[in-house]
Structure 1
Amino acid sequence: MSHKIEKTDAEWKALLAQKGAEPVAFEVTRHAATERPHTGKYDDHWQPGSYACVCCGAKLFDSSTKFDAGCGWPSFSQAAEPTAIEEHVDRTLGMQRTETLCAACGAHLGHVFEDGPAPTGLRYCMNSASLDFKPK
């Protein structure tokens, strides 16, 4: 994506509050915080639909790719579109992981790991607070 949606922290915080997002959504999406496992509203959520970025509304995942990884966060085997998610090396907490960000606005979503199911072998481990569910 060539042009990212950019806002100040104050603008993102106000927008998320206006949308009725959980208070933790700002810290997760704009400061790369992580929800505690098994506490997010989409961890055990199985309705058909799609999951969008809570900040900008870009479609990120389809419910058909969601699976129970048992890790405590909603997990998906692939993004809705190859260009929906950006990946960056994350060396925080004394380890190396692959951070996932919304390609449209740069919101921190979670991390992707190579221990998911076939056919992709990927597990997009997302924070519920970074997502907004759209029922089918």
Structure 2
Amino acid sequence: MGGRALIRTLHVVTHPEATHHLEGVVGGWHDSQLTPAGIRAALSIAQALRARIPNGAQVELFSSDLQRTLHTTEEIAELFGVKPILDRRLREKSYGEAEGKPQEWLDQRFVPPPAVGERMDHDENV
């Protein structure tokens, strides 16, 4: 019973402002870039993580392969001296044919999930 306890902390980070936000188009798997404000925010996120995570801590960094998340991850990776592990399964939800189209296009076709009952098999119409 004399072993050390393994303590893990998970930090979940979302990408900051991306071009699809400003263009008013649906994101999902649409491969948009970070805006200049998004780049500054990504650097701030990286610096905040660097301040929270002790030197010498084992850091593993996982990211989706979309450009906006990869850019965010690269800012963090640089401060920790690690190489990110890219995994397309970490992408946000796909909006299918709506991706890259005006948000209004999706809004006109979107079917919200029911307030109660089964929500997992809900088809949002995209």
Normalising by structure 2, we get a TM-score of 0.23
More helix by share: 2
Per residue, is there more strand in 1 or in 2? Answer: 1
Please tell me whether Structure 1 or Structure 2 has the larger radius of gyration of its CA atoms. 2
